Structure 1
């Protein structure tokens, strides 16, 4: 399969085209602000637990841990909200994680990713492994589905861990066509995978890694990259204000130890389940048109009208 997307014409409504300006459109400001407000409310709602090492500063430690957890959720929500503004895109809600069947792992073990064009596997065979994408976005015009994993930052990810994540996403992509077909989503010609680096530091589109500023290229939305950077900057400003107030409060009047526990404090940004699979597979029983799977690539230069 080629990793070069076929050109896809993109129609744009008047309101959608208005958002294609080079700067953040006024229409987006309240949307971004509202998302940040929700994130801060969720962070404040989490209780902290007593920590013998941090002592009176356990509240500060819990706050930082909650921020790192909710930042990832905020980025997911931001992408989902921006995608909903386009008449061409639709966020698909999955009732269950995407299955990783043993045959998919076997194929990836023996073949290069490029060699698996038009291969789609049944999703209803026995499997033990699965993968839950952070977002699954369908481009109805380009007939393209994008499996997206959003990471707060890839700087702490070892290459081996990133390779493992990419492999799981590849395996899930090989059955995603059948899953979507069973849900009545016919006519999909491409299924791509993309890992978003929320810190905007890493970019390797040939390996499916997109910096935050590049999500506009990924989704074909000229305003999305700048909007996501703005969202993260707004969140950072609010978080730092909260931390300043918290530090001042702790210094002037240290809080009493709180022994309550909180799932928010202990939450992890890695929601992927780890388990082992067995080797078995079958091809899709019902006839399906070929579906190309591969690493997501940007639409390239986008003109002011919002067309690739």
Structure 2
């Protein structure tokens, strides 16, 4: 397959043939990956911190409010499983938003989120059957027919170096088998082959000379920089923002605390609700304890406003005790 010339013919990487973009599974290089680290002012740091704090509050309110957690806790084991899943999904979504916000604080970067990239069959075949050195200089048409799509969590384009970074953000790769990681990286590389054409056509003639793919794992359990798997410790380098990894760690800690606080509040609310259901609500109080009406009798049927009525209610409760606990009265004796 012949390489398709890139729309730009100037200021290309000296390590690659003219009119070709470069595609790599290893985003690392000497110095910062995305321009020089941002040396923003204290005011800029404060503004970014406020933005990140608002992001975590919004995500908690959206997915893990006290009301939402309470409803899930009422669902028993299935509800608990749903709660665990909701917490994982919310954290993953928050990570993407936080990292994008930090990246946007670097004026040298153009940041795209949730970009749908076509994955062509011929691109997958190229990636699968050839070493990276043979296809890294190719660009394929983004308009080729395909049903397969790869959604990039982030695309970071360095305005200075004209390098685009396809970033897939994962909370953890701990449960991923090696083959699954390989397949993810191959989809990313195949999508990278159409990225220059797509950005040029769909994003105001944005020109890039090189595409690098990186899987960013927050947990840091499967770090392998040689194959493009980075962790939060590499985030400053990737985004070109000093303190980026510290920002993300702080926000994750805030997220965990807010989630735990809401869980504690929801559990307490559920406990109080169960107590009200057990002992009743709104009945008269005698000796500090709530009275319980017979089964089948509505609260409004028991009026305990006077001591005589309380006594009558007690006698009625005693005479109906066997029925109240669910034993059916014997049928009448026929003569």
TM-score by length of structure 2 reads 0.65
Distance in 1, matches of 2:138 and 2:239, equals 24
CA gap 1:154/1:120 in 2 versus in 1, 3 angstroms: same
More helix by share: 2
* Partner SS for 1:134: strand
Structure 1 range deviating more: 56-65 or 146-155: 56-65
* Partner SS for 2:126: helix
* Partner SS for 2:128: helix
Match of 1:216 among 217, 228, 236: 236
Distance in 1, matches of 2:30 and 2:197, equals 22
Residue in structure 2 matched with residue 231 of structure 1 by the alignment: 251
Matches within 5 A, 1:122-141: 122-141=141-160
Deviation per CA, 1:8-28: give whole Å up to 9, x if none. Answer: 79467xxx51369xxx94444
| Contact persistence 2:70–2:270 (CA under 8 A) | no
Residue in structure 1 matched with residue 29 of structure 2 by the alignment: 5
Distance in 1, matches of 2:152 and 2:71, equals 34
* Partner SS for 2:237: helix
Distance in 1, matches of 2:39 and 2:259, equals 32
Unaligned runs of 5+ residues in structure 2 are 1-21, 277-335
1:17 matched to 2:39: yes
| Contact persistence 2:31–2:237 (CA under 8 A) | no
Unaligned runs of 5+ residues in structure 1 are 257-308
Distance in 1, matches of 2:70 and 2:271, equals 19
Distance in 2, matches of 1:249 and 1:60, equals 16
CA gap 1:90/1:116 in 2 versus in 1, 3 angstroms: same
Residue in structure 1 matched with residue 8 of structure 2 by the alignment: none
Residue in structure 1 matched with residue 210 of structure 2 by the alignment: 190
Structure 1 range deviating more: 69-78 or 215-224: 215-224
Structure 1 range deviating more: 28-37 or 161-170: 28-37
| Contact persistence 1:200–1:212 (CA under 8 A) | yes
RMSD, matched Cα: 3.1
Which structure's CA Rg is the greater one? 2
| Contact persistence 2:35–2:158 (CA under 8 A) | no
Deviation per CA, 1:219-260: give whole Å up to 9, x if none. Answer: 22222111111111111111111122222333443499xxxx
Match of 1:35 among 30, 37, 55: 55
Distance in 1, matches of 2:219 and 2:274, equals 33
| Contact persistence 1:56–1:255 (CA under 8 A) | no
| Contact persistence 1:213–1:229 (CA under 8 A) | no
TM-score by length of structure 1 reads 0.71
Distance in 1, matches of 2:128 and 2:275, equals 54
- The Cα shift of 1:70 comes to 0.8
Match of 2:105 among 85, 106, 109: 85
| Contact persistence 1:54–1:61 (CA under 8 A) | no
Residue in structure 2 matched with residue 64 of structure 1 by the alignment: 84
| Contact persistence 2:157–2:165 (CA under 8 A) | yes
| Contact persistence 2:167–2:213 (CA under 8 A) | yes
- The Cα shift of 1:124 comes to 1.3
| Contact persistence 2:100–2:111 (CA under 8 A) | yes
Distance in 1, matches of 2:89 and 2:102, equals 21
| Contact persistence 2:109–2:158 (CA under 8 A) | yes
User: Comparing both chains, which one has the higher relative contact order based on Cα–Cα distances under 8 Å and sequence gaps of 6 or more?
Assistant: 1
Match of 2:221 among 184, 201, 211: 201
Distance in 2, matches of 1:48 and 1:239, equals 9
